[in-house]
């Protein structure tokens, strides 16, 4: 009789263990794998998710020891000023993780600089990248001499980098160079290292929080909403969660996030009136887009 009981107990425990392993595997898969991006034909989201009109050059910047510092993406153009976007990598990520996305942004007329730092949460590396580009803009021997609109600088980042772009704007003396901040997969504060903790109440520029419904542990909708709620009540803000997007959805080509990230930067840094329509007014496209949920906006003009 005891052998029968032990046998049943063993089988029960084995079954529970298998179920737990299966549940863990399913959860892990959901957290790191997004559904395929889908854009409605003829939508503004689709327009800005498609490549822009510029061909793109890339340039690697190294220090005196040959260590890579930055990768710069720029539109092929002559005698044209372009807004600047500084990118903040997620933990352990490098420019290769976002290469297609950053090329895409450059094709829409932005100079984009990404640091090779894999720890960007304090904002220090992001501000250094911005300052590097502005110095290059004044150097007659630089390929970027008088090519950057120094009064039109945006900062966007992923995960740890999403905290870094907030901190770059709020915690540094020259943070006011940044005119808009976009945080993608913004970690809930309890997941931030002490030096990376962000304070959205200190933001003074338009703020866009982009998340995904599969990123419900690190960057859930509730914590994104709290980040928005903590901002100054007069600040232009927007939050949106892409359905089926996981924590790493922004990597590679940007996934479902690509279109509205591009449109936001065009709206904020280029005064693109068509891009503005995606976000502003009662008929703002993002509000009615079935691929997005938990859309909250305030003070957008």
Is residue 9, in this structure, part of any structural domain at all? no
State the helix-helix crossing angle for 124-138 and 160-170, rounded to 10 degrees. Answer: 60
- Looking at the DSSP assignment, which residues form a beta bridge with residue 70? 61, 115
Is residue 252, in this structure, part of any structural domain at all? yes
Express each pLDDT in 194-244 by its tens digit: 999 999 999 999 999 999 999 999 999 999 999 999 999 999 999 999 999
- Parent domain of 64: 33-298
pTM (2 decimals)? 0.90
Is residue 81, in this structure, part of any structural domain at all? yes
Is residue 18, in this structure, part of any structural domain at all? no
Is residue 24, in this structure, part of any structural domain at all? no
HSE of 111, CA atoms in CB hemisphere, 13 A: 26
Total domains in the chain come to 1
Say if CB 185 and CB 162 are below 8 A apart: yes
State the helix-helix crossing angle for 258-270 and 99-107, rounded to 10 degrees. Answer: 40
Is residue 21, in this structure, part of any structural domain at all? no
Question: What share of the chain has pLDDT > 90, as a percent?
Answer: 87
Express each pLDDT in 117-149 by its tens digit: 999 999 999 999 999 999 999 999 999 999 999
- Whichever domain contains 97, its CATH number is 3.40.50.1820
Is residue 67, in this structure, part of any structural domain at all? yes
Is residue 85, in this structure, part of any structural domain at all? yes
């Amino acid at each position: 009789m005891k052998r029968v009981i032990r046998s049943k107990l063993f089988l029960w425990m084995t079954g529970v263990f298998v179920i737990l392993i299966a549940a863990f595997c399913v959860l892990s898969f959901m957290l790191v794998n997004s559904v395929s991006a889908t854009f409605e034909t003829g939508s503004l989201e689709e327009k800005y998710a498609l490549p822009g009109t510029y061909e793109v050059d890339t340039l690697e910047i190294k220090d005196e020891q040959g260590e890579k510092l930055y990768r710069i993406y720029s539109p092929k153009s002559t005698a044209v000023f372009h807004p600047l976007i500084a990118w903040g990598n997620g933990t352990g990520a490098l420019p290769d993780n976002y290469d297609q996305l950053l090329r895409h942004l450059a094709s829409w007329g932005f100079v984009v600089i990404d640091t090779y730092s894999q720890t960007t949460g304090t904002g220090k590396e992001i501000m250094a990248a911005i300052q590097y580009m502005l110095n290059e803009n004044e150097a007659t021997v630089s390929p970027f001499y008088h090519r950057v609109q120094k009064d039109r600088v945006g900062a966007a980042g992923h995960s740890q980098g999403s905290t870094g772009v907030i901190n770059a704007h709020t915690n540094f003396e020259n943070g006011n160079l940044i005119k808009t901040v976009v945080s993608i997969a913004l970690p809930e504060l309890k997941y931030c290292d002490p030096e990376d903790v962000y304070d959205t109440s200190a933001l003074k520029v338009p703020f866009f929080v982009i998340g995904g419904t599969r990123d419900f542990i690190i960057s859930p909708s509730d914590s994104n909403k709290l980040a928005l709620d903590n901002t100054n009540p007069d600040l232009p803000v927007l939050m949106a969660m892409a359905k089926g997007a996981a924590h790493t959805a922004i990597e590679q080509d940007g996934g479902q996030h690509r279109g509205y990230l591009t449109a936001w930067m065009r709206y904020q840094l280029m005064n693109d009136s068509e891009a503005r329509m995606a976000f502003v007014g009662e008929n703002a496209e993002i509000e009615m887009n079935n691929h997005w949920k938990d859309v909250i906006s305030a003070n957008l003009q």
